[in-house]
A and B are shown apart, each in its own frame.
Chain A
Amino acid sequence: MDRAFRARLESRFGDVATEPIRQRHDETELRIPAAAAPDVLRALHDEPEFRFLMLSDLAGVDTGEQMQVVYHLWSETTSDWLRVVAEGIARDEPRTPSITFLWKGAEWMEREAYDMFWIVFEGNRDLRRIYMPPDYTSFPLRKDFFLPDDAARSPGGGVRPMERSHAPQGTSAGAIRRVKA
């Protein structure tokens, strides 16, 4: 845990952050609204006290209540992984700015997030499906996705929870998994 780095982050991004900065093990977590992500990431990338030149990972997350895009960054200036959680993306119509202008390599990772979560990255000029076929219509990693598989209609239906074609009846509250983390 790099306390000094946390202080630097606090002083620079304290006003943007939606939650206090958390640290655990070798990770520092900064939560920002999704709309602010390009500015924050550009600052992290360019400013000499941060110099986060490397985008280690870009992940979409469906918490059950909202969508998040999670960036993991690496820099020589700190010994921690920096996790930037761009949160507050609506589940019904998830849209967020793309960061391909900073890291062109994020293009496919954004495509993957779009493919799996329907998160539309505005500014990505190649936002197509990447794994699923182009005529596929649902988004498999969303928590309200249920596999419309023939296995779900079989006598074995229900043996594997993921093979449900729809949420069970009468369980509106417990239909999908949620996380408060």
Chain B
Amino acid sequence: MSAPASIVRRILFNVFAWAVVLVIAFPLLWMVLTSVKPSTELFVIPPRLLPGEITFEHYRRLLTETPFLIYLRNSAWLAAGTTLVVIAIATLGAHSLVRFSYPGRERLARLVLFTYLLPSVVLIIPLYLLMTGLGLANTLTSLIIAYTTFALPYALWLLRSFMKAIPDDLESAALVDGANRMQAFVDVILPQALPGIISTAMFTAILAWNEYFYALVLVNNDAARPLTTGVISMLVTSFNIEWSLLMAASVMMSLPLIVVFAFLQRYLTRGFSAGAIKG
């Protein structure tokens, strides 16, 4: 193959690939464009691709006139809290499942997969009763606990296979070197599992950040409402949908994720490559 031909092929491939990427990303682009259009341009027929004039009015209104920032804070707490709780529990649990032996261990590991199957719709009322019984109804804590239900099995499973990939000898070495088992866990296993923990934490945070249904039923209070249900209930009512504000809200809801993932993206794939996907 001659050099010019390969260059042409490369250019063609690049053009094609980027076209695909842009098609995939088009809804996001449209979201951004809509959010900076004045609302008067919104219902123009036919719709215009580019805004006639750019306005940040919707963002201003969202930030100053609505509880958006409260929802944002709630969502951040929720994602952070859920991730913390889930990772703490799952890391210990996975370590136990991988490196300790006791009766029922294998059965427990299998049960983890089974709990995936529970449809959240059916857990919701018993969960709600539980939360009310504990005096936690309408709090972020109740949502953190609820999110733990669906995030924990996945996190545990991911971390378990991740930790399986860490050689046994490392822990043995630490034990011989004078550590007890918890010290060996902290000194050796944890640092080794860190990429997996970060990756799992990201998946958990995504789940918690984006969850809608539990938040809808368990929390009906602006003080504890996260973005997903907050934005919907605030901007989508049966008599009106505030598209401009919705799109502005969507952009701002996605912004923290973009920032976080720009930094941590490689861990997502690393989490999978380091054996987490082997089951």
**Do A and B come together as binding partners?**
no
- What is B's interface to A at a CB cutoff of 8 Å? none
